[in-house]
Structure 1
Amino acid sequence: MSDFTFDKEFQGEAILEYGDSDFIILKAGAFVRCSVTGDPIPLAELRYWNVDEQEAYRDAMIAKQRWLELHAEPGQ
């Protein structure tokens, strides 16, 4: 059994401000939610986000899907 315990502030959902190459933690937590699927993404695994929309994505496929949605021509 591990002696390591998590501080309560790092157990819940974090709030981040996404920048071009990194992010700022506004509220400490262990994860953020994917804006498309709602799946939790541990902060250590967060690699994909949209600065303009301030959205996090679980993986590259979901990030691409969302980019295509946001950049689709009207009527397509």
Structure 2
Amino acid sequence: MLMPPAGRLARLYYLPGTFRQLSAGDHVLCAVSGAQIPLDMLRYWSAEHQEAYATAAIATKRMLGA
């Protein structure tokens, strides 16, 4: 089984309810905080804005424009 390179930033295309991995990696960065989000822990993103969020609170705040 091939494993993504450890410590490498993945490129994703975000869709409603899922995402497509465009390049190998093991994490993405939160668009607001800059925190690393392991792909297996990624739960919050915006397909419209094509960005990931580290927590539900950050995602909600971003969506409300605060």
- Whether these two folds match at TM > 0.5 is yes
Q: Counterparts of 1:22-37 in structure 2 under 5 Å? A: 22-37=18-33
- Deviating above 2 A after TM superposition, structure 1's stretches of 4 or more consecutive aligned residues are none
Unpaired stretches in structure 2, ≥5 consecutive residues:
none
Number of residue pairs aligned between Structure 1 and Structure 2: 64
The structure in which a higher percent of residues are helix is 1
1:64 aligns with 2:65: no
Inter-partner Cα distance in structure 1 for 2:11 and 2:28: 7
Q: Which has the higher contact order (CA 8 A, sep 6+)?
A: 2
Identity %: 44
Unpaired stretches in structure 1, ≥5 consecutive residues:
1-5
Q: Counterparts of 1:1-76 in structure 2 under 5 Å? A: 9-11=4-6, 12-69=8-65
Provide the aligned C-alpha RMSD in A. Answer: 1.6
